[in-house]
């Protein structure tokens, strides 16, 4: 890339960032808490907090649905506890666990229904079932599939994402 191309790309990035800052400030002025509005007016409200507030708003119809929690360590610990003989205590740490995530290619009827529930409420959103394969690094045959429903949607210049727990939790 030439210097001119780099400068043009950087100028475009800065313009997008300014657009996002303005959108967030306008949104906080209209929808934020009084305390957020005061901090925004003073120029000290972190944009991350504004994005969190917009995300809560955008996914408001699903406030009662549990969020996906990346709890692979406890899930592997649970499997080991069930598989090991009495007295065979093993402690699992985050360093002992590997996680790989992909979009599901097949779904149960319940998972399909959950996906379509999200699509019905947020028709412009992208909704996918995610499989998080959590395995124990010491023995890769010890693995737990974890499912989440990832919902992504545009909100002004932002792309917001939130992952929800799939109601089906596999047994250890």
Q: How many helices (H) and strands (E) does the chain have?
A: 5, 4
CB-count exposure of residue 87 (10 Å: 0-12, 13-18, 19+): exposed
Query: Closest Cα to residue 134, out of 166, 91, 101?
Result: 101
Q: Read off the pLDDT of residues 83-106 as tens digits, 9 standing for 90 and up.
A: 775 556 678 899 999 999 999 999
Give the pLDDT score at 2.
Answer: 93
**Per-residue confidence band for 1, with pLDDT thresholds at 50, 70 and 90:** confident
Q: Read off the pLDDT of residues 121-144 as tens digits, 9 standing for 90 and up.
A: 999 999 999 999 999 999 999 999
pLDDT higher than 80, residue 171: no
Give the pLDDT score at 170.
Answer: 47
Kindly list the distances between the CA atom of residue 39 and the CA atoms of 24, 31, 43, 49, in Å, as whole numbers in the listed order: 13, 14, 6, 11
């Amino acid at each position: 890339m030439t210097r001119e191309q780099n400068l043009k790309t950087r100028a475009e990035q800065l313009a997008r960032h300014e657009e996002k800052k303005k959108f967030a400030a306008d949104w906080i002025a209209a929808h934020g808490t009084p305390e957020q509005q005061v901090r925004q007016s003073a120029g000290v409200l972190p944009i991350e907090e504004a994005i969190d507030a917009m995300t809560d708003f955008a996914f408001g119809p699903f406030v009662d649905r549990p969020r996906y929690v990346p709890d692979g360590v406890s899930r592997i610990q649970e499997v080991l506890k069930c598989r090991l003989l009495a007295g065979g205590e093993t402690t699992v740490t985050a360093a002992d666990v590997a996680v790989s995530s992909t979009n599901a290619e097949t779904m149960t009827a319940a998972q399909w229904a959950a996906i379509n529930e999200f699509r019905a409420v947020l028709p412009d959103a992208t909704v996918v079932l995610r499989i998080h394969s959590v395995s124990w690094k010491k023995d890769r045959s010890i693995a737990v599939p974890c499912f989440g429903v990832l919902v992504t949607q545009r909100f002004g210049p932002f792309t917001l994402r939130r992952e929800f727990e799939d109601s089906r939790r596999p047994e250890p």
